[in-house]
């Protein structure tokens, strides 16, 4: 059951031809999901007006008639599905430029004095999907700066550091993880009481080890050792399960790092 299948049923129904009803019922009865997703199709003896009425109601509730009402990501995802990568990338860059120049676009309808940075997170993920790491980083850095809760700040900085490492911006990744550790040391709120005991702590340690490995590969042994030591300090505070989960990454990073002189 997909939006595409549901839309196809709507388009058939809008024709208002009762001869299409057996086809629509056959599609609806494919499996449990389609029966739920295409509920309400008129009975086999319905006329064209009844069929069109059903299709219009479903269209209005799920799709509508104005393409401008669709989120940008609807169109960029369709473009990507058709291989129109550059078209999607240009549209996403234009939206990121708009937000960067006018952050009031992020104001929450229910709380106009507050910003909702989630569209920036979506843009960062779409740019990463496109393989455009510089644009993904631009969106992710702004996303991270707009976070308010300590947990959200740490999560955003963690993603930012990973993108910086993957983009070979190793100096920036070192700095970002340093900012992340300062937040952990002084959160400023109560959103990070048990981070060492959940997956967030493990992911933070893993990113430190991945960066230490990358720094060693880049012939930056001093920086690699410093990041490795920071990762080990984080690992020491993890739960036994978390520490065991990152043991292999820690050992590999240590071997790679200490192999440099």
Mean pLDDT of 93-122: 91
pLDDT at site 260? 43
Counting other chains too, the contacts that 184-189 makes at CB distance below 8 Å and 24 or more residues apart are: 184/154, 187/150, 188/150, 189/149, 189/150
Q: Which of 75, 116, 112 is nearest to 92 (CA)?
A: 75
**CB of 220 closer than 8 Å to CB of 260:** no
Q: How many CA atoms lie within 13 A of 27 on its CB side?
A: 20
**CB of 151 closer than 8 Å to CB of 121:** no
Q: How many CA atoms lie within 13 A of 49 on its CB side?
A: 0
pLDDT at site 70? 73
pLDDT at site 185? 95
Summarised one tens digit per residue, pLDDT across range 162-207 is 999 999 999 999 999 999 999 999 999 999 999 999 999 999 999 9
**Confidence at 71, pLDDT banded by 50, 70, 90:** confident
Question: Cα–Cα distance between 55 and 59 in angstroms, integer?
Answer: 6
The rounded mean pLDDT for the chain is: 92
Mean pLDDT of 209-235: 97
Check residue 47 and report its DSSP letter. Answer: -
Check residue 106 and report its DSSP letter. Answer: G
């Amino acid at each position: 059951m997909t939006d595409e299948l549901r839309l196809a049923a709507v388009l058939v129904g809008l024709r208002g031809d009762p001869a299409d009803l057996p086809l629509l019922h056959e599609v609806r009865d494919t499996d449990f999901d389609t029966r739920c997703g295409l509920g309400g199709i008129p009975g086999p003896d319905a006329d064209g007006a009844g069929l069109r009425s059903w299709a219009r109601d479903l269209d209005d509730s799920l799709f509508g008639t104005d393409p401008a009402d669709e989120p940008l990501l609807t169109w960029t995802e369709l473009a990507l599905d058709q291989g129109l990568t550059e078209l999607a990338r240009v549209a996403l860059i234009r939206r990121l430029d708009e937000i960067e120049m006018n952050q009031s676009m992020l104001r929450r309808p229910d709380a106009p004095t507050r910003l909702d940075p989630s569209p920036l997170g979506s843009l960062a993920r779409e740019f990463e999907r496109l393989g455009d790491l510089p644009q993904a980083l631009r969106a992710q850095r702004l996303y991270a700066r707009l976070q308010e809760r300590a947990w959200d700040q740490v999560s955003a900085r963690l993603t930012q550091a990973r993108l910086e490492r993957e983009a070979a911006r190793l100096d920036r990744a070192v700095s970002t993880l340093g900012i992340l550790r300062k937040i952990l040391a002084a959160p400023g709120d109560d959103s990070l009481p048990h981070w060492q005991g959940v997956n967030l702590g493990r992911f933070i340690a893993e990113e430190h080890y991945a960066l230490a490995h990358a720094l060693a590969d880049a012939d930056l042994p001093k920086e690699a050792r410093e990041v490795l030591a920071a990762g080990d300090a984080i690992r020491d505070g993890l739960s036994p399960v978390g520490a065991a989960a990152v043991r292999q990454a820690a050992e590999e990073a240590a071997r790679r790092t200490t192999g440099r002189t």
